Amino acid sequence: MGAWYSSFVVRHVVTRVPHRYLREPVPIFFPASEEMPETRRHLGLRTALFQILELAFADRATLGSEQFVYWDPTDPRACCAPDVMLRLGEPDELFDSWKTWEWGAPHLAIEIVSESDHDRGPWQEKLDRYRRMGVQELVRFDADDPATPLRIWDRAEFELVERDRTLSDFMRCRTLDSYFCVQQDEKLGSLLRLARDAEGRDLFPTPAEARRAAEARVRELEAELARRARDESR
């Protein structure tokens, strides 16, 4: 992990030297939010994936979900709001919006298809925005397309190039050195998840799964201690 992308952007404080200027700089407003309609199912798919990644990688990556990512400091219209985004390098912290000229581009962005994405025009426009954003790995997940639920683009030079689905490692997440997989959820239907193995058996857990596993481990330890106590009392 870590060898696939070139470098991290180190956040630092710049000491400003006072100068005299002919005019004051004009501030540019970059909105932190916008009211956007979202179905309950889309919310569930997005939240589940975000929580899985947050639980697994928050100690070494900054994550976002539906926050604006800006890549042009002169144009607040140059933005995109990934359903899930991640940048490796530093522990997770809260942010209102993400500015690539301050913190670098996301290494991974994931789009979960909504009604507005089914038309070819808006998706091509969105794909171009991700190209200009500088994202390294882009994933498009369509829960309602059983034949082609997943499409993946990798950055090559200045382009985002779609990955060949016939490749044996097509499902590999290069950013996180793991594998995407599609699992069936009783409530949400097709759900995008992440696994440590290519077969999708060793899944990164949801918070609920992690909690149940921890509770089961506690019960196992309690049973083991009780067994040892019985053996020592004999």
Tell which residue, 53, 48, 44, 106, has the closest CA to residue 81. 106
Domain parsing of the chain, residue ranges: 40-203, 205-234
DSSP-assigned letter for residue 104 = -
pLDDT tens-digit series, residues 129-175: 999 999 999 999 999 999 999 999 999 988 999 999 998 899 999 99
- 40-203: what fold? tt1808, chain A (3.90.1570)
Model-level pTM?
0.80
Q: For residues 107 and 5, is the Cβ–Cβ distance under 8 A?
A: yes
In a 13 Å sphere around the CA of 221, the CA atoms on its Cβ side amount to: 6
Q: Indicate the SS3 state at residue 115.
A: helix
Smallest Cα–Cα separation from 130: which of 62, 71, 177? 71
Mean pLDDT along residues 78-94: 96
